Amino acid sequence: MANKYQRLLNNTFLFLLAQAGSKIIALVLIPIYSHVFSAEEYGLIDGITAGVSLLLPIVTLMIQTAVLRFVLDKEEDPKIIFSNSIAIYVVEMIVILSCYIALKILNIYNGILEFIALSLALEALNGILINYVKARNKNVLFMMQGFICTFVMGTLNILFLCVFHMGIQGYFFSIALAYLVTNIVIIIWSGCLKDVSISAIDKQKLKKMLAYCIPMIANSLSWTLMSIGDRYMIIALLGLSANGIYAIATKIPTMISSLTNIFQQSWEISAIEEQKSEDKNGFYTIIFDYMSTFMVVCVSGCMIIIRIVIEQFLGDGFVSAWRYTPFLLLSLLFSSYASFYGASYNAEKKTMGAFLTSMAGAVINILLNYFLIKIGGLQGATIATMIAYLIMWLIRLFHTRAYIKINIPKIRFIISWVVLGAQVAVFYLLSNYWLWQMFAMSGFAVLLILLNKSVFFKMIQSLQKKFKREKSK
């Protein structure tokens, strides 16, 4: 299709507008967290949040992924898909409520139990709603719900932490309330309740949806273990304070990861739409080249500024976090590669492949973390995570050749990685000579831009064409 690149670009801009506010607010709140919470408290917050992330795929059965995939399928009735997903959600809520009552009676996790239950219930519904409105092309609503959630969450965070001094509980309940408000807005604005019908619930359709999304549970769990497994290993081997520093070190890489996830969401839609295209391989090759080039330069640029940002804006207990960021940034690079290739599994409805490859990465990550943390402390955790994501990408590179064949420009790729590796070496070797460190790393960043200038020119031309079309409308 001639306009497939334009649609991908449009979707990326849409998702960016929907989520840019939340990323900016999250970045602004990091200095507040570093001054309000101690390293130990922030380590505890990070551990609880990671636990919720781990539980969410199990509780939701990843039904939200089936909503997006099946509603995008032109042969399916969106109302039937949505009704079936809500039926599954009702069952999920009964399970959450039963577990909450049992744990409350046993006095387990008292104090944070309410947050965990609320988060699971509200985030599960939010996942279904936003994927439904996204698949139904309700673009304005999709964009606005991101702004609303961000505004409410940011406002309540500041109010609960800085005005009422509610501490950890205030942090958690501001998140839960933000999802509650957002879900209510989506339901009222979209009118999606009229699409729910008991008569539309179909056993065969439920089986088909669950057959698609159940392997995604293990896939999501594996990705979650990849991203948070090191946190629990750090807590067990080094303590909560060390995890607090590590959590801060991951914040800026995580912010960039959020931006790549915006692209990955639009890319997943394009991969599904182009599944039967004759030029599928060429499309994948061009987009991967654009994405990987942008990511390499972005990682290089972040390495230049990361130390200044952490030392100038964060609390004294977290200033050492800059030492652990380079390998986390490289982890982000390989993670984005793995995610890109993973979209082909969803497009082909071969979700078992996504599960097996991500599980392999998770097992490698856990094993490497155990041994390398003992040897190198927090730095061992960053290296373990980087190696695990690299191996996961390489596995997917070969495993997905049954569906797609991406022609990677090997020489340019290898040279770019060598330059990036040299920049990491300079980051550590010249850490006591700040000015020389900045000068050398800036030189490597410029070299990467020059090396990939042809790709950047094509990207700029594509953006110019988009803006010219917008103006002519």
Provide the 3-class DSSP secondary structure of residue 74: coil
Task: Please tell me which residue, 31 or 1, carries the higher pLDDT value.
Answer: 31
pTM for the whole structure: 0.74
The number of beta carbons lying within 10 Å of the beta carbon of residue 352 is: 14
Q: Is the pLDDT of residue 128 over 90?
A: yes
What are the tens digits of pLDDT across the range 402-427?
888 888 888 998 999 999 999 999 99
DSSP codes of every residue in 346-393 = HHTT-HHHHHHHHHHHHHHHHHHHHHHHHHHHHHHHHHHHHHHHHHHH
Mean pLDDT on 253-265: 77
N-to-C CA span, the chain: 21
C-beta separation of 293 from 456 below 8 A: yes
According to DSSP, residue 162 is labeled I
**Residue closest to 349 by CA, chosen among 68, 85, 1, 55:** 68
* 451-467 per-position pLDDT tens digit: 888 887 777 776 666 55
Q: What percent of the chain has pLDDT over 90?
A: 27
**What's the pLDDT score for residue 1?**
44
What is the predicted pLDDT for the residue at 473? 52
Taking residues 286-298, what's their average pLDDT? 89
Whether the per-residue pLDDT at 95 is higher than 50: the answer is yes
- Asked whether 326 and 424 are in contact (CB, 8 A), the reply is yes
Which of the four pLDDT bands, split at 50, 70 and 90, describes residue 397?
Answer: very high
Integer Cα distance of 368 and 370 in angstroms: 5
What percent of the chain is modeled with pLDDT above 70?
93
| Cβ–Cβ under 8 Å, residues 130 and 142 | yes
Residue 245: the pLDDT is: 84
Residues 6+ apart with CB under 8 A from 471: none
> The tokens of 342 are what?
């993973």
Max Cα-Cα span within the chain: 70
Phi, psi of 274 (to 5 degrees): -100, 15
Contacts of 237 by beta carbon, 8 Å cutoff, 6+ apart: 373, 374
Q: Does 2 score more than 60 pLDDT? A: no
Average pLDDT over residues 251-273: 77
String of DSSP letters for 201-268? --HHHHHHHHHHHHHHHHHHHHHHHHHHHHHHHHHHHH-HHHHHHHHHHTHHHHHHHHHHHHHHHHHH
> Over the stretch 161-215, which tens digit does the pLDDT of each residue have?
888 888 888 888 888 999 999 999 999 999 999 999 998 998 899 999 998 888 7
Instruction: Output the average pLDDT for the chain.
Output: 84
Q: How confident is the model at residue 382 (pLDDT cuts 50, 70, 90)?
A: very high
